[in-house]
Structure 1
Amino acid sequence: MNQSIPQKIVIVEDEPKIAQILIDYLENHGYQTEYFVSGEGVLHYLENNVVGCVLLDVMLPNAEQFGDGLQLCKEIRQFSQVPIILITARIEEIDRILGLELGADDYICKPFSPREVVARVKALLRRSQLQANPAEKQESNTQKKWYLDEGRYQLKYQQQTITLTAVEFEIMRTLSHSPGNIFSRSQLIERIYHDHRIVSDRTVDSHIKKLRQKLNVAFGDMEWIQSVYGVGYKFVMDL
């Protein structure tokens, strides 16, 4: 592993047995861990330390005082783009969509295999590894005066910069590399997730909705990504 990349994993989980299993598996794979039993102190820690990923349980004790996992996810996104994996016993899709719209990069449902959690963490860290090496390749288009900065997961246009999540970046890169081409949701899932997991179409829609919101807030109400009814999405922005 590249030692220049932050390899500390923050675990926020109220069940000690589950937390210990995660700690053991992650540390056996060479990661450091920091454990919180509730939301207390999590934001302060993340504001003052560099970490690789956050494993965040949705249901946490003392939620009225310190917030549940969804609230914490939202607050973390106010100051950090650290990869976040939600861990939830709620199997209803609305909870998953809500978590993703609040800025989570991934989710995993209880009961889970700790090996799968480690695999998800590794996948997110692989997507984030170029952040530690900004000299790496940039996806550029100098004639149109915009580019995707793969080293920082940023899109730069009109002297403005927005930071994207790993999934949002992959969506933007996939669509913009083939402007006008229509990508189905299943094609986007194949490009975004490399571990062949089962992901619903609504999850893709949720990521694209969030991506559109970021683009519109930063650059105005311009149509970057167009929906093609019954088919999928295409990149249509004439930059």
Structure 2
Amino acid sequence: MSPASIPMVLVVEDEPAQREVLAYNLEAEGFRTAKAENGEEALLLTEEEAPDLIVLDWMLPNVSGIEVCRRLKTRPETRNIPVIMLSARSEEVDRVRGLETGADDYVVKPYSVVELMARIRAQLRRTRPAAVGQKLTFDDIVLDSEQHKVFRGDETLKLGPTEFRLLAAFMEKPGRVWSREQLLDRVWGRDIYVDTRTVDVHIGRLRKALCQHGGTDPVRTVRGAGYALG
């Protein structure tokens, strides 16, 4: 699996020991991690790294976790990133406040690491299903990320690794228009320089692969914007 296709979790925790333990456990589970020790750093890293999920402590210096969550959920570019809030506050009113601010889940400290990992995977099954081994379906196309196979009808399709990752990104969000830059970030990763024209080359290969046994081309070119599935 390409590093870019492995889900990234941003850990926001001001206690160094807890931050490191949580990051260690996430990496042991196969995730990439980024770490922030305060709210301002969390907002900056979210913009720079575009994490797939954020584990966010409520009690942070400077900008609180609640305020970080509120800001993220009001921005179009970050509102769909799942946020799991960690807090020692166990009262119902606090849980309600956290969820009403936009948190997708609320976990009370001290927590079970096993349960937290299960909650993280549950959120990613909703937003990055291919990355956690889920089968994806669009019309007559089936992508089995666990076996790394793609089927169209009764036929098995032969796709290169880059084309497979492109198709997974499309099938996770059918109808979404992806710009070339967004596809570069998702499929190749921010640390690798690839010209945007390379995206067009691999889109062409993906289209050819999807139609190798017949059928219409499901990839749509959106002039001036990018590409979409369906």
Q: How does the TM-score come out when normalised to structure 2? A: 0.54
The 5 A counterparts of 1:11-160 are 11-62=11-62, 67-79=63-75, 80=78, 81-130=80-129, 136-137=137-138, 151-152=172-173
Given residue 117 of structure 2, which amino acid in structure 1 is its aligned partner?
V
> Match for residue 7 of structure 1?
7
Aligned 8 A contact 2:9 2:55 in 1 = yes
How many pairs were matched up?
140
Over 6 Å off, 4+ runs: 1-4
Give the unaligned 5+ runs of structure 1: 139-149, 155-239
Q: Aligned-residue CA RMSD in angstroms?
A: 3.0
What is the CA distance between 1:92 and its match in structure 2?
A: 1.1
2: CA distance between counterparts of 1:15 and 1:41? 14
Aligned 8 A contact 1:61 1:68 in 2 = yes
2: CA distance between counterparts of 1:30 and 1:116? 16
What is the CA distance between 1:130 and its match in structure 2?
A: 4.9
1: CA distance between counterparts of 2:137 and 2:3? 17
Given residue 105 of structure 1, which amino acid in structure 2 is its aligned partner?
D
Given residue 60 of structure 2, which amino acid in structure 1 is its aligned partner?
L
Whose radius of gyration is greater, 1 or 2?
2
**SS in structure 2 at match of 1:54:** strand
2: CA distance between counterparts of 1:99 and 1:153? 30
Aligned 8 A contact 2:6 2:31 in 1 = no
1: CA distance between counterparts of 2:57 and 2:14? 8
Aligned 8 A contact 2:12 2:55 in 1 = yes
What is the CA distance between 1:4 and its match in structure 2?
A: 6.3
1: CA distance between counterparts of 2:138 and 2:2? 17
Pick closer, same or farther for the CA change 1:95–1:131 going to 2, 3 Å. farther
Question: Percentage identity across aligned positions?
Answer: 36
Q: How does the TM-score come out when normalised to structure 1? A: 0.52
What is the CA distance between 1:113 and its match in structure 2?
A: 1.3
**SS in structure 2 at match of 1:101:** helix
Pick closer, same or farther for the CA change 1:153–1:15 going to 2, 3 Å. farther
What is the CA distance between 1:110 and its match in structure 2?
A: 0.3
